[in-house]
């Protein structure tokens, strides 16, 4: 199995094994999926947590994504741009899960959870407090973003290229570009304060 590392490709396309995936042994596909899970689980989990899901729900969504990926590969479907495919499925499942839970999106919950952690290793207690305040303020700021802008930002943070983001969210390249610019300009102002 040859799976290029994330950093080495712009638009991740995983080559199929010799012959179609249908003819490939299921154990081989299982191994490929496990490898992809190891490679993308953290990115995926961070992304779906940004939807306000609990960690348990996020883990479950990640499991579902890779089970779906197994079926996708076993049925011999396209392996081009699997990273985009993975995030696209995760995006849809996260939305579905959030709707099923009837929870409102609440990035503040994530901020609160993070505020309990030791975010800044600075030995100065005053700096630690300032750092926490800054983080909380930024999370609150992010919370005010339109969902599409937030998704664009998080997907870009996970290394997806504009074309992949456009594919995942079903929007145009121009919209991705405009959304990211808008988000960064807002963040810039927030950091300036």
- For binding to another protein (CB under 8 A), which residues are involved? 22, 26-27, 30, 33-34, 37-38, 41-42, 45-46, 49, 55, 59, 62-63, 66-67, 70-71, 74-76, 110, 114, 117, 119, 135, 138-139, 153-154, 156-157, 161-162, 177-178, 180-181, 184-185, 187-188, 191
Collapse the DSSP code of 123 into the 3-class scheme (helix H, G, I; strand E, B; otherwise coil) and give the result.
coil
Token pair 């012959």: residue: 19
Sorted by sequence, the CB contacts under 8 Å of residue 68 that are 6+ apart come out as: 89
Give the DSSP per-residue string, 39-59: HHHHHHHHHHHTTT--HHHHH
Closest CB 176 distance from another protein, rounded Å:
9
Which tokens in the block code for residue 129?
A: 């407090």
- Distance in angstroms (rounded) separating the CA atoms of residues 175 and 152: 10
Closest CB 64 distance from another protein, rounded Å:
9
Residue 105 or 139 with smaller CB distance to another protein: 139
- Distance in angstroms (rounded) separating the CA atoms of residues 164 and 158: 11
Residue 63 or 172 with smaller CB distance to another protein: 63
C-beta atoms surrounding 24 within 10 Å: 18
Which tokens in the block code for residue 190?
A: 């927030």
Closest CB 178 distance from another protein, rounded Å:
7
Closest CB 99 distance from another protein, rounded Å:
22
Residue 124 or 181 with smaller CB distance to another protein: 181
Residue 102 or 186 with smaller CB distance to another protein: 186
* E runs forming strands in the chain: none
Residue 88 or 178 with smaller CB distance to another protein: 178
Closest CB 87 distance from another protein, rounded Å:
15
């Amino acid at each position: 199995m040859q799976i290029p590392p994330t950093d080495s490709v712009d638009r991740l396309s995983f080559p199929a094994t010799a012959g179609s995936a249908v003819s490939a042994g299921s154990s081989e596909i299982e191994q490929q999926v496990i490898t992809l899970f190891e490679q993308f689980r953290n990115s995926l989990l961070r992304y779906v947590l940004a939807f306000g899901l609990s960690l348990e729900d996020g883990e479950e969504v990640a499991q579902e994504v890779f089970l779906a990926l197994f079926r996708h590969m076993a049925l011999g479907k396209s392996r081009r741009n699997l990273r985009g495919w993975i995030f696209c499925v995760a995006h849809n499942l996260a939305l579905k899960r959030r709707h099923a839970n009837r929870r409102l999106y609440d990035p503040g919950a994530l901020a609160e959870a993070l505020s309990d952690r030791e975010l800044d290793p600075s030995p100065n207690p005053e700096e630690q407090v300032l750092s926490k305040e800054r983080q909380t303020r930024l999370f609150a700021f992010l919370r005010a973003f339109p969902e599409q802008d937030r998704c664009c930002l998080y997907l870009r943070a996970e290394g997806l290229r504009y074309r992949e983001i456009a594919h995942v969210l079903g929007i145009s390249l121009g919209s991705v570009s405009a959304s990211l610019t808008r988000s960064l300009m807002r963040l810039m102002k927030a950091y300036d304060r």
